Amino acid sequence: MSPSGQIYLLSGPPGVGKSTIAARVRRDMPDLAYSVSLTTRPPRPGEKGGKDYYFLSREEFLKKVEQGEVAEYAEIFGNLYGTSEKVLRAELDQGRDLFLDTDVDGAAQLRQRFPDGVFIFLLPPNRAELEKRLRGRGTEDEAQVTNRLARFNYELAAAHDYTHVVVNDDLENAVAQVKAIITADRAADQHRTERHREFIDSMIKE
Ligand code: ADP
Ligand code: 5GP
């Protein structure tokens, strides 16, 4: 049997803190593979292709979809976002656990395929704080901020489908909770009886 890694997926409304928390988890858990997403949205100042996203034209993205190279994708605010099938397969087939960040539609597609995956939904402490963070980030104009806030209810309605919910009020606390969820899941897997069958059998004296 080939090894297969676990899926740890983070979703939540724009501005809630997904990228901030993902960066911290990646730094603190370097053995976790991270899936850099594909997108047709233009890079924000400071964003680097291959690090923050793979930036593609719409034509390039749709060609990849046609060729089965996109594991899941969704259209958000007029741009396409998706996960590379190649990255997903390469990491999981090598037994590496994969951490990714998708919207709720992408998560729904991956949930079908990985029903035992860990799906974490990040919530803001309240609506006003979400709006403050989104504006405070300063990467969108007013119309884009309004668009993103309008999507909040749609994303919230999907929160019940997730295995875990974390409220990102205090950042340190939220990072610790996400890491604890991942650590607990990994530990649970390590301790499944099946994994210890040979060890147990070797101790049985005839
Ligand atoms: P997302 O990736 O979900 O769109 P970001 O990670 O870009 O969100 O965070 C949006 C803004 O909120 C950023 O300016 C970030 O520094 C800030 N932020 C994230 N978490 C917190 C927190 N717990 N408290 C206050 N500000 C936060
Ligand atoms: P942003 O443009 O702010 O970086 O991201 C906008 C939205 O795209 C966020 O809600 C984020 O979760 C989503 N997103 C980022 N990467 C992916 C991906 O690979 N697949 C899907 N379906 N959504 C993604």
Give the domain CATH number at 144. Answer: 3.40.50.300
8 A C-beta contact, residue 178 and residue 166: yes
Q: Is residue 156 part of a domain?
A: yes
Mean pLDDT of the 111-137 span: 95
Domain span at residue 186 reads 7-35+96-205
Terminal Cα-to-Cα distance of the chain (whole angstroms): 29
Distance of alpha carbon 100 from alpha carbon 46, whole angstroms: 21
Q: Which residues contact ligand 2 via a Cβ below 6 A?
A: 11, 14, 18, 37, 41, 72-74, 76, 81-83, 101-103, 105-106
pLDDT digits 0-9 by tens, 30-87: 999 999 999 999 998 899 999 999 999 999 999 999 999 999 999 998 999 999 999 9
Read off the pLDDT band of 3 (50, 70, 90).
low
Does residue 175 sit within a domain?
yes
Is residue 198 in some structural domain? yes
Residue 71 lies in a domain: no
User: Do 174 and 17 form a contact (C-beta atoms < 8 A)?
Assistant: yes
Ligand 2 center–CA 86 separation, angstroms: 18
Please say whether the beta carbons of 155 and 60 come within 8 A: no
* 49 belongs to a structural domain: no
Answer for the pair 53, 167: CB distance below 8 angstroms, yes or no: no
The predicted model scores a pTM of: 0.93
* 55 within some domain: no
What is the spatial order of strands in the sheet that 164-167 belongs to?
33-34, 98-101, 7-11, 118-123, 164-167
Q: For residue 83, tell me if it sits in a domain.
A: no
12-19 mean pLDDT:
93
Q: Is residue 22 part of a domain?
A: yes
Q: Which of 99-103, 148-152, 184-188 has the lowest mean pLDDT?
A: 148-152
Tally the domains of the chain: 1
Short-list 168, 156, 175, 160, CA closest to 122: 168
Residue nearest to atom 5 of ligand 2 (CA): 14
